Amino acid sequence: MALKRQSNGLGRSAVAVTAVAFVAVLGTGTTAHAGASCGVTGCSSSVNDTSVGATALKNWCRGGDSTGASTDKQPTCKSDDVPQKSMYLSPNGGHTPYREDWDTLRVDAGWCYKVRFIVDFGDDFNRTYDRRGLSAAYVKAADNADAHVIGQSTSSCP
């Protein structure tokens, strides 16, 4: 006589709950994190892959935004007791420090930037920010994303 193994269903339930919790945690990494520290999905960063300088800012200051969101209002807040600060990104590879959270890339007034967002646990994408004839814009990179400046021009959009 063969014995049949009975399942109480707890194994599948535990796996399902774990999977839902994991997806919920990953989902939080795609929205803006106003804090100055890295989230569970990593740290946001900015990288300048062009021959012209760029600028990153530490804090984003708004909630509810996701990677690629922009505003023309300069973020000035303190977040997690870390004051707003900026960092110059030198041409051809300048970047914010690794293992530090830098949420904002500035698109300079009068310039058009093409930005490549490298997204962990998501799809990478490009976005163009045309600020020719306009004030500067500030662009969000969530904790699971790196913002790479891949083109800059004052005459046309790259």
The pLDDT tens digits of the residues spanning 29-80 come to 444 445 667 878 789 999 999 999 999 999 999 999 999 999 999 999 998 8
Q: Kindly state whether residue 21 falls inside one of the protein's structural domains.
A: no
Give a yes or no: residue 92 inside a domain: yes
What is the domain count for the chain? 1
Is residue 19 a part of any domain in this protein?
no
Rounded to the nearest 10°, the torsion over CA 88, 93, 156, 146 is: -80
Q: What is the pLDDT of residue 66?
A: 96
User: Residue for token digits 């774990």?
Assistant: 18
Contact between 141 and 44 under an 8 Å Cβ cutoff? The reply is yes
Contact criterion met (CB below 8 Å) for 7 and 103? no
- Cβ pair 86, 55 in contact under 8 A: yes
Residues 147, 45 contacting (CB under 8 angstroms): yes
Domain-embedded: residue 11 = no
**Enclosing domain of residue 78:** 33-153
Cα distances (Å, whole numbers) of residue 128 to 44, 115, 118, 157: 19, 6, 15, 8
Could you tell me if residue 134 is inside a domain?
Answer: yes
| pTM of the predicted protein model | 0.77
Residue 4 counted as domain residue: no
Q: Per the domain annotation, does 125 fall within a domain?
A: yes
Exposed, middle or buried: residue 83 (CB in 10 Å: 0-12, 13-18, 19+)?
exposed
Residue 24 domain flag: no
